Chain A
Amino acid sequence: MSQDDRLPAGSRDAAQPEAAAQAGPDVDALAEAGIESELAEKVAPDRDIAAKVGENIVEVKDLTIKFGGLVALDNVSFDIRRGEILGLIGPNGAGKTTCFNAMTGVYKPTAGQVVLEGQVINGLKQHKITRLGLSRTFQNIRLFGEMTALENVVVGLDARHRTSVGGALLRLPTHVREEKSAIERGMALLDFVGIADHAHFLSRHLPYGYQRRLEIARALATDPKVLCLDEPAAGFNPAEKEELMALIRTIRDEGYTILLIEHDMKLVMGVTDRIVVLEFGKKIADGLPRAIREDPRVVAAYLGEPEDDVA
C-alpha cells in the first residue's frame, strides 16, 4: 500500500495496517505504545476487524449538495478503503466539512449517494448512521459540557446498548451489566487517548487539548467502522499535533478506518495513506500523498496560480 511509497523502510513497520488486521491487533505495536494488549478487546469486544483490508468500506458517489443557488459540493466521488487513513484536504470553504456533514447525515445530499459497506446511508437518521458504523468528531468541539469526561464517553458507548426506559427503571440485569461494562470500557477508552486521570472532570473544565482527545474517545466509543475526524488538530501547536497524529495512527493500527479532514499540509502528508483534495466543492485530486504534493492543481489551489499562467 501507500506508506511504503513515502516512508523510509522500517520507520512504520509496526504500523502496517495489513499486518495489524490480519494478525488481530498487533501486539508488539500496542505494547510499544504502552497499551495493554487486551485494550482493543476491552474497548470493543464485538468488533470485527478480520475483514479484508483494502476493500472499499465507504463509497461516496457523485455527491452534490446545494444550498439554494450555492453549490457546496459538486459531483464529488471517492472511496475510503478499509484500514487506511484517508485525508480530505482543501482550502478554506472547499466543502470538506460539508462533505462530512453529508456523510454523517447532518445534510441531505441534493444528489448522489454515500454507501457504507454496501448500504446506502444518506437519508437515514443520524443516530442510525452512527450505529451502522460511521462516527465523527467536530471541528468546533461539541462535548456535553455538564457531563464528566467518563460520562461523555459512556454516551458514545450507549449507542450500542439495548436497555431503555423499562430496563433502567427496574434496574434489570441487562441494564446493570451494560452499566458496569460501560464504565470499564469508558475508562479504557479514556486511558487509550491519554486522559484517564481526568475522567471525573466536567468536560467543559478540561484543557483544550484534552477536550479534543475526549471527542475522539467519545467517537470511538460508538464502535465505528469509519472514524471521521474533522480538523482534530485545530488550535494545536506543532508538538501537540505530532502527538495527536501518533494517536490517530495508533487508532488505525487497532483496526479502524479513518477519514481525516486537516488543514495543515505537512501534517496530512505525514499521517495519511491517501489524500482527496477538494476545491470549490469539486474534487481536484485523489491519490498518494507524494503525488498530491506534486500535483500542479493542488499546488495552485493552495498557493494560487502564477500570474503568467492565468494569461
Chain B
Amino acid sequence: MSMTDGPTPLPEAAAAQAAADREAVTAGPGSSVTPEKRGRPGVFGAWGERWNALSRQQQWAFLIVVVILAYMLPLINPPIITTEPGNNFALACFDMARFALIAVGLNVVVGYAGLLDLGYVAFFAVGSYCAAMLTSPDSPFLHIPYLWTIPIAMTVTMFFGVVLGVPTLRLRGDYLAIVTLGFGEIVRILATIIPAMKGQVGFQNVGHPPGTEADGTPIFSNSNGVPWYWLTLSIIIVITLLVGNLERSRVGRAWIAIREDEDAAEIMGVPTFKYKVWAFAIGAAIGGLSGALFAGQVGFVNNQKFDVTTSILFLAAVVLGGAGNKVGAILGGALVSYIPLRFTAVAEYKYLIFGIALVLIMIFRSQGLLPARQRLLAYGRTAYQRVTQKDSTGPSSAGTPPAAGPGQDQNREKGVQA
C-alpha cells in the first residue's frame, strides 16, 4: 500500500483531497495562521489575510498608528466624517467610544460564550446608577470622588452578573434570552418604583474626574467631549488587551468550546457553568464601567435611557461588527452610535436602518463585518508556523502517521487470521 510514503492514512482519493487542501492552504504566504476564509471572501477577508501575513512588529506598528489616529479623531474633525453641525463631534466620538466599550463587553457574553443576552442594558443601568448615586448631590447616600465609583460600579455590576447568572445559566438558548430580557426590564422598573432611585426625576450633577482648566472650569465638563473620549478610548484599549489575554487562554478556549458544543465541552473537562458565570460577570463589569462613564459625561441619570430597545441596539452592534471578534465589536459599536448622529435626518428611523442592515449582513456576511476567528493559544503562532513551514518544504516530509507503520503489518496478519 502507499501509506508509508503517502501523507495521510486515508485511501488515495482522500489523500489526494487532503493534499489539495494543504496546497490550497500553503499557497499564500498570508495564510499561515488562518488558512481558511470564513464566509465570503471580500474586502475584509483580504484584509484579514494581509493582516495575518504581517510580522508581530508590523502589526504593532500599524496598531500604534491606528490608535494615535483614534486619539486625534475629535481634534482633526475630518470634514466628511464629522457629525457637525447636527451634533458636536467630540461628544459624538465619546458616544461612539461608549458604544464600542459596551460592545466589547457584550461580545464576551454573546460572541465568545455564545450566551444570548437581551438584557445587557441592565448592567449598563446598574453602572450608571452606581456612579450617580455615589456622587450626585441629589442622592441621599455617601458621596465619594467620581473615579472611585468606576471600580465600585464594576464590582457591583459584576455581582449583579453573578446574581443573574447563577440561577439562569442553567438555561440555554431561547430560554436564557427570555430570562435576560426579563432581567433588563426588572432593573428599569425597579429604578422607577424604588423611591431612592428617583424614577424619572433622576440624579443631577453626577460627578466627574478631577482637574480644572486655567479658567477654573472642570476639564471633564458635560459639554466638552474630548477628555471624556480620551478617557474612554484609553479604557477601551486596556479592556481590549485584557480581554485578549483572556481569549488566548484557558478561559477563552472554554468560552468558545461552550459556544461550539456545550455538552462536549463539559465532557472534555471544561467546567462549563463556572465559565459561563465568568463570561456573564466579566461582560457585566464592562457594561457597568461603560454605564459609569456615561453617567459622568452626561451628568444626569434617570430611568428613561435603559429600555429594551437599547439592549437590542447593543446586540446589533455586536452582531454587526462580527460576534466573537473584539475589534469587530468596537467597529460595530462605533457604527451603531455613529450613523444616527451623522445622518440626523434619518436618526428617527435608526431601528429601521439597523434592521435592514442586519438582514443584509446576515445574507451577505453572516459572520459580521470582521469575521476573523479567535486566536485561542497564547503561543500558537510559532507552532502553526512550524507546521506550515514543514508543509511547504516538501509534501513528502509531511508526517506519515507514526502509529500506522507497524500497525499495518500487525493488521495484515490479523486480517488474514480473522
Which A residues form the contact surface with B (CB < 8 A)? Answer: 7-8, 11-12, 14-15, 32-35, 104-106, 125-127, 130-131, 135-136, 138, 142-148, 150-151, 154-156, 158-161, 163-165, 167-171, 175-176, 178-180, 182-183, 186-187, 191-202, 205, 207, 209-210, 218-219, 222, 237-240, 242-243, 245-247, 249-250, 266, 269-270
Contact = CB atoms under 8 A, between A and B. Distances in A.
A218 B268 CA distance: 8
Given A158-B269, A165-B282, A250-B403, A151 B380 contact: yes
Given A147-B376, A154-B376, A155-B270, A194 B384 contact: no
9 contacts: A34-B402, A155-B254, A158-B253, A165-B278, A179-B378, A209-B9, A243-B9, A245-B411, A245-B414
Interface stretch (B286-294, B301-309, B341-349, B387-395): B387-395
Contacts of A182: 377
A266 B418 contact: yes
Nearest to B278: A165
B229 to A, nearest CB: 26
Contact of B383 (A15, A32, A150, A193): A150
B417 interface: yes
Contacts of B415: 238, 242, 270
Interface residues of B, number: 76
A194 B25 contact: no
Contact of A136 (B36, B267, B384): B267
A150 B17 contact: no
Interface string B263-279: 11111111110000010
Given A12-B410, A165-B282, A243-B404, 14 more contacts: A127-B267, A146-B260, A155-B268, A168-B246, A169-B245, A182-B377, A194-B400, A194-B401, A197-B398, A200-B33, A207-B17, A243-B3, A243-B9, A245-B407
A105 B266 CA distance: 10
Nearest to A163: B250
B1 interface: yes
A193 B278 contact: no
B155 to A, nearest CB: 15
A89 B265 CA distance: 26
Contacts of A167: 249
Contacts of B33: 200
Chain B interface helix/strand/loop/mixed: helix
Contacts of B3: 243
Contacts of B413: 8, 11
B50 interface: no
Nearest to B281: A165
A154 B253 contact: yes
Interface string B91-129: 000000000000000000000000000000000000000
A126 B413 CA distance: 40
B379 A183 contact: yes
B249 A163 contact: yes
A199 B17 CA distance: 17
A151 B377 contact: yes
A178 B253 CA distance: 14
Contacts of B199: none
Given A194-B400, A197-B399, A201-B35, A144 B265 contact: yes
A167 B246 CA distance: 9
B42 interface: no
Interface of B: 1, 3, 7-11, 14, 17-18, 21-22, 25, 32-33, 35-36, 242, 245-246, 248-254, 256-257, 259-261, 263-272, 278, 282, 373-374, 376-380, 383-384, 387-388, 390-391, 398-408, 410-415, 417-418
A130 B246 CA distance: 23
A55 to B, nearest CB: 25
Nearest to B382: A183
A222 B257 CA distance: 15
A222 B269 contact: yes
Contacts of B411: 242-243, 245-246, 270
A251 B254 CA distance: 26
B253 A243 contact: no
A158 B418 CA distance: 40
Contacts of A239: 1, 11
A151 B376 CA distance: 7
Contact of B387 (A143, A170, A176, A196): A196
Contact of B269 (A127, A147, A151, A187): A127
B36 A201 contact: yes
Contact of B250 (A7, A158, A202, A247): A158
Nearest to B391: A197
Contacts of B32: 200
A288 to B, nearest CB: 14
